[in-house]
Structure 1
Amino acid sequence: MTDTAFAWDTYARQKPERRLVNAAGETTWFNWTQYPDHGPGTELLGIKPGAAVLDLGCGKGGNLAHVAALCARAVGVDVSLAQLEAAEARWSDAGLVLHRTDAVRFLEQTGEHFDAIYSVYGAIWFTDPEQLLPVIRKRLKPGGVLAFSQRPAVDGCYGCQASYLNRSEDEDPLVVKRWDYEPERWEEILREHGFESPAASVLPAPPGPRKIGTLMVRARAV
């Protein structure tokens, strides 16, 4: 497997920058899916002014900047220096609190508790849930929300899988681990780790040639 930080640094340099405004003309917005202007927003997190919110795998900070715009404490974690530098450059006035580390290490070491923790195609997809979910649970306030989105599992390919990050035509793809489960299994896993009211389903893709939906998962800390 490829070194994780190197893989995501490479991905960051290839990924296009977020648009300056979305279809509604907003300069900050929250997008759970791989499609622009599609799907729900921060209502899944139940954010109120003054809430403490953690983004696991915050990338270039687009979603986190919208959290900050809602007057919440917006904390982001990412292993990629390139991702965080891009976040700091674009959202320097947003008040983001950014940490370069992996999700498990951050959650083990921080003394802060959060009203909501989320991951959009981020650390929850690329970290063993047996390691990550227990420390998420410890850092969520009672009744706090955990929500995440990722690509649905390929039929018959569940658990730890190889995920390939393409590079140039002359370079082999980079390989990282990801964890894929069907929605019903995600609900079971969350219950096993002390979460209540888990709900997982696949949000269909918007009309168009691409048909792959988005797995959406939400639960609460007991």
Structure 2
Amino acid sequence: MLRTSHDPVFFWDRYKPDRDGPAPPHEVTAFEWTQYEGHGPGAELLGRPRTALELGAAECREASWLARRGVRVTALDLSPVQVERARRWWKDVPALTIEEGEACSFLRGDDQTYDAVYSIWGAVWFTAPDELFPLVAKRLSPGGVFTFSHGETPQHLTGRQPMYGKGPEGREMTVDRWCHPPETWADIAHKHGFVDVEARCLPAPTGQALGTIIVEARLPDRADHATSSH
């Protein structure tokens, strides 16, 4: 019988182990929310931030793309293997800071605010939203943008679900992910004080099966508060 390991750090340490050279295998030429190159929206979903935080950045490809365009980016990942590789790949990008840590713990201890917090198939998908969303709201500037994407999941899978992978010697590994349809993500965002929420599933390109759920939300700004008080 195969042993099952539930160790998120170990799980993500083994994410894309074939990409471990001194430089990324391909130049980063675009900001992508989906797994299909050139499909769907780009960095415009973040507005025009001066500062940004990526949760679950892994290879930090999009974080490096933003940083090279003048945004001060903090990229966070749980895996020390991913962090070490990203720091090696992007050591020449001065506007990019790469941190190691779990998303909720980092947000609780962080004293910075950001114009945008985003996640691309990253920590938002793998963290309890009722714990994470209020912490994101505390770290956003007034009017700040919270945007994330993840893979389309079967409609019968809702809430906390295990995702499976293979570890060394065929050992089965699991990590928890939170599966919700777009309308549920929108409800969660509204519940935690976000406004201008748009949640949708972007269909895959022709010939591909898996779409991408994209959620956009905004923290109220001072003008919103002033309007609501009258």
Please state if 1:41 is matched with 2:42.
Answer: yes
> What is the CA–CA distance in structure 2 between the aligned matches of 1:193 and 1:153, rounded to whole Å?
23
Q: Which amino acid aligns with 1:9?
A: D
Aligned pair 1:215/2:221, yes or no? no
Q: What stretches of structure 1 of length at least 5 have no aligned partner?
A: 22-26
1:56 alignment partner in structure 2: 55
Q: What amino acid sits opposite 2:109 in the alignment?
A: Q
Q: Is structure 2 residue 121 aligned with structure 1 residue 117?
A: no
Tell me the TM-score normalised to structure 1 length: 0.91
Percent of aligned positions that are identical: 38
Cross-structure match for 1:205: 204
Letter matched to residue 20 of structure 1:
H
Bigger CA radius of gyration: 2
CA distance in 2, matches of 1:151, 1:38: 14
Aligned to 2:134, the other structure's residue is in SS state helix
Shift of 1:33: 0.6
Out of 17, 22, 34, the residue aligned to residue 13 of structure 1 is 17
Distance in 2 between the 1:72 and 1:206 partners?
Answer: 30
Partner residue in 2 for 1:24: none
Superposed displacement of residue 207, structure 1: 2.0
Contact 1:119-1:147 within 8 A present in 2 as well: yes
Shift of 1:164: 1.0
Q: Number of paired residues?
A: 213
Q: Distance in 2 between matches of 1:15 and 1:65?
A: 16
Q: By how many angstroms is 1:151 displaced?
A: 1.0
- Matches of 2:65 and 2:48 in 1, distance apart? 11
The change in CA–CA distance for 1:167 and 1:35 in structure 2 (over 3 A counts) is farther
TM-score normalized by structure 2?
Answer: 0.87
Unaligned runs of 5+ in 2: 221-230
Moved beyond 4 Å, runs of 4+: 14-19
8 A Cα contact 1:31 1:41, kept in partner: yes
- Deviation digits for residues 38-83 of structure 1, max 9, x if unmatched? 21110000124xx110000010110100110120101011111111
Aligned-partner Cα distance in 1 for 2:104–2:194: 18
Aligned mates of 2:193, 2:16 — CA distance in 1 = 34
